[in-house]
A and B are shown apart, each in its own frame.
Chain A
Amino acid sequence: MEIDPFIFRLSIFILSIFVGYYVVWSVTPSLHTPLMSVTNAISSVIIVGAIIAALAGSSENIFEMSNIFGFLAIILAAVNIFGGFLVTQRMLQMYKKKKK
C-alpha cells in the first residue's frame, strides 16, 4: 500500500516542532524580542500562498474575488516581511559588546 503524501508532510511538521523546540530553548533570553520579530517575519512566508492566489486564473479577468484576496494578502504579508526583518536588524545592530 502506498503512503499518503499527507503523512510525509505531517512528519516534516512534527519533526520541525522538535527542531523548533530545541533551537528556541538555545536562544539567549536577551534576544527574545528580536526572536519574536523575526518569527513574525518568517511566518509571513505565507505570501507564497498569496502570490499563487493572486496569479491564478484567466488573464482576461485578473481581479476575480479570489485574486483580490490574494492581492490583499500580499500587501499584509509584505508589510510583515519588510517590517519584521528590518526592525529585527535595527534591534540587533544595537547589541554591542563592552569596549575594552
Chain B
Amino acid sequence: MSANLSALFYLISGILFILALRGLSSPETSRQGNYFGIAGMAISIIVTFLSVGDLGPGFVYVLIFLLIGGSIGAFIAFRIPMTAMPELVAGFHSLVGLAAVFVAIAAFLKPEAFNLGSVGNIKLASLIEMSLGAAIGAITFSGSIIAFLKLRGIMSGSPITFKGQHIINLILGVSILFLIFYLCKSQSSNFFWMLVTLSFLVGVLLIIPIGGADMPVVISMLNSYSGWAAAGIGFTLENTALIITGALVGSSGAILSYIMCKGMNRSFFNVILGGWGATDQSSKSGDKEQKPVKSGNADDAAFLMKNASSVIIVPGYGMAVAQAQHALREMVDALKKNGVKVSYAIHPVAGRMPGHMNVLLAEANVPYDEVFELEEINNDFANCDVAYVIGANDVTNPVAKSDPQSPIYGMPVLDVEKSKSVLFVKRSLSPGYAGIDNDLFYRDNTLMLFADAKKMTEEIVKSL
C-alpha cells in the first residue's frame, strides 16, 4: 500500500476516534461511539500490516502477541469490579506509557525501519520527538504505577513529602532537557538510556507527594500525559492517527483535571505540589467541642422518607466502600412505590475518578435520568423534604460557603442543609478527608443515622 493511501486511512481512523469521543455526549449515542472507536483501531492496525507489505515470518509472532495481550485485556475487562475502575484506568495508563517508551527505544535502536535515518545519524527533529515521547511515556508509566499502588491500598494514600522535594524535581526536569540536548548533539545511546531512567524517576517523585483524596486529579493528569506521549511518538512515526489521538487524549485529560480541581476549589499546582490539609489537620482536631447531635434509627428514617413527597439521595465514595449501592436502589424502589419522587445528586469529586459515582449507580440499575450533577440539582434542595446523605461528607459541608478560614472554603458544595430534613448515614462523627468537622451534623434539621451505610439502608428497606 502506498504511503499516501495509508496516510489517508490513518486520517479516517483519527476521525473515527473523534466520533468515538463525540458519542459520549449522551448515553444513547455512547455505545455507537464506542464502535466507531473500535473501527478506527481496526483500520489502523490493518493498514499498518498492509503498508509494511512483505510481512515475513515475524507476522505470525505479531498475531500471537496481539492475541496474548488481547486475551489478558479482555479477561481483565470482564472481571474487574466497577469499584476498582480508578486503579484499572491507572494501570492501563501505565501500559500506554510503557508502550510509548518501548516504541521510542525500538525507533532509536533501528531508525531505518521508520525512515528516520541510520544509527548514529538520526534526523534531528525525529530525535527530539522520540526523546520527548520516551520521557513523557516513562513519566506516565512510573507515575501511573504509583497511582495504581495508592488506589489499590498497597501503598499508603497519605502524601510522602521530604525536604527539598520540589528542588530535586526541578533539577531532574532541567537535567532531562540537558540530556535531550546532548543526545541530539552526540547521538550517543548513553544519553538516551539516562534520559529514560531519569524520566522513570521523575514519574515516581511527581506522584508520591499527592494524597489519596486528590487521586481524581492525578488519574486525569496521567490520562493527559499518556496522550502527549502518544502524540510525541506520532510525530516520530509521522503517523496522523497517532498525532490526532494524542492531541485528543491529551486535551481530554487536561480538561478532566481542570474539572476535578474546580470541584475541589484547588489550583492545579496546589494539588501537584503536595498533600491536602497536611498542615491544618492537627490544629482542627484539638479545639473540638461537644455539640448536641440528634440521632435516630432506621424506623425514624423510614417514617420520614415515606411521608415525604420528594427525596434527594447524596451518595459519596463511602457508599461504594460499603457496597451499599444495591441496597440503596432497593430503598429507592420502595419509596417510589409509596409515591415519593426520588433523585440523586452527584458532586464532581464524589468518587475516586471523574464520573465514578455515575458508573456505580448505573451498575446498581439506577436510571441515568434520575441522576443529576451539582449545578442541575442544587436549587432543588430548598424544595425537597428529605436529603439522604450516604457515604458523602466534605461535599455537603456548609462551612465551605460560610467560613473563609476553612481549608475547603470556596469549594462547591451541595446545599443539603436547605432541605426540610437531612438524614446523614455515617459510622461516627469523625471528619472526612479534608480533616474538618462537618457543620451539618449539628443542624436542627439533621438526623444522624450512626451505622454502616449498607446495613442502615437495608434496615430502612425492611421498615418501609
A interface residues (Cβ-Cβ under 8 A, vs B): 5-6, 9, 12-14, 16-17, 19-21, 23-57, 59, 62, 64-67, 69-99
Contact = CB atoms under 8 A, between A and B. Distances in A.
Interface stretch (B103-111, B297-305, B400-408, B445-453): B103-111
Contacts of A62: 56-58, 61
B34 A51 contact: no
Given A42-B249, A66-B109, A96 B367 contact: yes
Contacts of A64: 109-110
A36 B100 contact: no
A14 to B, nearest CB: 8
B252 A39 contact: yes
A46 B244 CA distance: 11
A43 B245 contact: yes
B96 A49 contact: no
B31 to A, nearest CB: 5
B103 A35 contact: no
Contact of A82 (B24, B74, B109, B351): B74
A23 B255 CA distance: 11
A33 B83 CA distance: 11
A91 B368 CA distance: 12
Interface string B7-18: 000100110011
Given A39-B253, A96-B362, 16 more contacts: A24-B252, A36-B256, A37-B89, A39-B249, A40-B89, A43-B245, A45-B44, A47-B99, A48-B10, A53-B107, A69-B106, A70-B106, A77-B95, A80-B99, A97-B368, A98-B367
Contacts of B233: 46, 49
A91 B61 CA distance: 32
Is the interface on chain B under 10, 10 to 19, 20 to 34, or 35 or more residues? 35 or more
Given A53-B103, A66-B113, A85-B34, A97 B80 contact: no
A13 B256 contact: no
Contacts of B243: 9, 12-13, 16
B93 to A, nearest CB: 7
Contact of A46 (B10, B230, B250, B354): B230
Interface of B: 10, 13-14, 17-18, 20-22, 24-27, 30-31, 33-34, 37-38, 40-41, 44-45, 48-49, 52, 55-59, 61-62, 65-74, 76-78, 80, 82, 85, 88-89, 92-93, 95-96, 98-100, 102-103, 105-107, 109-110, 112-114, 125, 219-220, 223, 226-227, 230-231, 233-253, 255-256, 259, 346, 348, 351, 353-356, 358-359, 362-363, 365, 367-371, 373
A51 B62 contact: yes
Contact of A26 (B13, B22, B45, B236): B22
Contact of A38 (B20, B65, B77): B20
Contacts of A93: 31
Nearest to A50: B103
Contact of A52 (B48, B244, B245): B48
B376 to A, nearest CB: 10
24 contacts: A16-B247, A20-B252, A21-B251, A21-B255, A23-B248, A28-B26, A29-B355, A32-B353, A34-B24, A34-B30, A35-B354, A37-B88, A43-B227, A45-B241, A46-B99, A46-B230, A47-B45, A47-B48, A51-B49, A53-B103, A55-B59, A69-B103, A77-B69, A81-B41
A38 B252 CA distance: 11
A25 B245 CA distance: 16
